[in-house]
Amino acid sequence: MIDHKTLEPKIVDTVAKLNQLYGAAPEVAVVLGSGWAGAVSHVEEAQHLPYTELSAFPQPKVEGHVNEIVVGKIGSQRVVMLRGRAHTYESGDCTGMAGALRSLARWGVKLVLQTNASGSLRPHMPPGSLMLISDHINAPQRSPLIGEPGSSRFCDMSAAYDLELRSHAKALAKERNQILGEGVYCWAVGPQFETPAEIRMFAAWGADAVGMSTVPETILARHAGLRVMGLALMTNMAAGLSDEALTHALTLQQAQVSGERAAGFLAALVASFATLPSLQA
């Protein structure tokens, strides 16, 4: 549960610092998951700031993540990239990204583009595939909004992943001859990987990919009034769908193999947002 008395002063302090260092907010924020860090190399005029300088930001400690923001431009589109996220499996707390996302919204960011490494539930999306998230399943039914005051806690999730932005991404992928799947992402808390029986259940529910992030951040972002889109990089077939034993090292290895191509598409997508009137208004 979010402690508003302690979090609010941190958000105020963080927004003040962001304004002081960077001025007006970029329209776009990107949360970089495993395999997506290469997108930082596409940022021009990049300015790096560790999370330790932003009191509302988390201090996640997971192998494969660096804890900093990177502010700059890709093409003519200004962007802030978040390298590192707080996962629920680190502490059991699903509110870990609340301070960061609410600070971004308060600063003036309009869109949060989430990326992650996922396990594929579908043979047509093997490791290395990219999937545009169309919807999600909150398998543990945990919410970062528990304890929020007022009616805003009843946040509409019927179109959590922005339809206009998804259509834009699909058009860009077609233009670039980039195969881009689309499907439903299922959140499992972790840190253990899922069992084959759980994967069969998730598939029966309609899930196309599974992972240990993204859903709490989407709920927090939508509650804060941010537009959301998501991209998943398939790093393995989910449990029971291949003969490989699932390990974090395997996830990171496949993410590294496929990461350059994923980062290239992500950079092109961010640059293309400069043509969207709804983001620039």
Active site residue 81: no
Of the residues 51, 56, 68, 87, only one is catalytic, namely: 87
Residue 274 DSSP class: G
Of the residues 34, 67, 129, 258, only one is catalytic, namely: 34
Active site residue 213: yes
Active site residue 125: no
Of the residues 39, 42, 56, 65, only one is catalytic, namely: 65
Of the residues 198, 242, 248, 278, only one is catalytic, namely: 248
Say how far residue 63 (Cα) sits from the centre of its chain: 17
Of the residues 212, 224, 262, 268, only one is catalytic, namely: 212
The DSSP annotation for 139-152 comes to: TT---TTTT--SGG
Active site residue 117: yes
Answer yes or no: are the C-beta atoms of 99 and 127 closer than 8 Å: no
Helix (H) or strand (E) holding 77: strand 77-83
Active site residue 34: yes
Active site residue 161: no
Neighbouring residues of 175: CB distance < 8 A, sequence distance ≥ 6: none
Active site residue 65: yes
Q: What are the backbone dihedrals phi and psi of residue 73, each rounded to the nearest 5 degrees, phi first?
A: -135, 145
Active site residue 90: yes
Of the residues 213, 221, 237, 262, only one is catalytic, namely: 213
Of the residues 46, 48, 55, 90, only one is catalytic, namely: 90
Of the residues 22, 55, 89, 157, only one is catalytic, namely: 89
Of the residues 103, 118, 236, 272, only one is catalytic, namely: 236
Of the residues 25, 29, 105, 117, only one is catalytic, namely: 117
Work out whether strand 28-32 and strand 77-83 pair parallel, antiparallel, or are unpaired: parallel
Tell me which residues are annotated as active site. 34, 65, 87, 89-90, 117, 212-213, 236, 248
